[in-house]
Amino acid sequence: MAQKDVGNKIPIYKLKDTDEVMKYYDEWGDGNKYDKDMVDWNYTGPIETTKVFSEFQKNKDAKIYDAGCGTGLVGVELKKYGFKNFHGADLSKKLLELVPNDLYEKLEQVDLNKPINKKDDEYDSVMCVGTFTFGHVKPPALEEFIRITKNDGFICFTINEGIHEEYGFDKKIEQLKEQNKWKEIKFFKSDYIASKDVNAWLGLYQVIK
């Protein structure tokens, strides 16, 4: 799989650790460049993922954890579908500062490669869009998402096609199915950032406890 450069200063696939990622996105957030780039690039991840999610999560009062929320693009889409009770978490303080006021019930700076400071079964669903990509959050986060999600809750996410196998997401997804921790509802290739010829796998899984 060719590694495609969708970054602003350096190719995003060259990011190796948490500090590099945080600095990268903090700089990207300056002057709201991140949101402007997402519009220019026709970044469709939040739109497509939330559409799929809303087809199955019918409870508009569902408590949703938006993991890697960035500037709130998923939150904007969730609001369009009538959801109102969602929390956002992201590594970049700069991007969190760009989230529209009163969009999320709560915002937190969080490293999703570490255990999430939430109780078991705290959320009805988890969204994670644009976060499973080069140098970012690794497959073990999926187990944390399951832990904080109630039985029958949904986990909806994208995985950049370039890391799906390289980082072991393919194996982790299958392992969680074999362990009967979730069941597959949807899993397909989506456009993601069509203007940059970058695709992602879009997954929707239902938690089993």
- The domains of the chain, with CATH numbers, are 16-119+133-207 (3.40.50.150)
For residue 167, the model assigns a pLDDT of 93
List, for residues 103-146, the tens digit of each pLDDT value: 999 999 999 999 999 999 999 999 999 889 877 799 999 999 99
List, for residues 1-53, the tens digit of each pLDDT value: 333 334 443 345 455 555 555 555 555 545 555 545 544 444 678 989 999 99
| Residue range 169-173: mean pLDDT, rounded | 98
Query: Which residues partner with 132 through β-bridges?
Result: 159
Q: Where are the beta strands (DSSP E) in the chain?
A: 64-67, 86-90, 106-109, 123-132, 149-160, 182-193, 198-207
- 16: tokens are 């190796």
For residue 191, the model assigns a pLDDT of 73
Question: 171 — alpha (psi -120 to 50), left (phi > 0) or beta?
Answer: alpha
Q: How far apart are CA 174 and CA 169, in angstroms?
A: 9
Scanning 86-168, the segments in alpha helix (DSSP H) are 93-97, 141-148
* pTM (predicted TM-score): 0.83
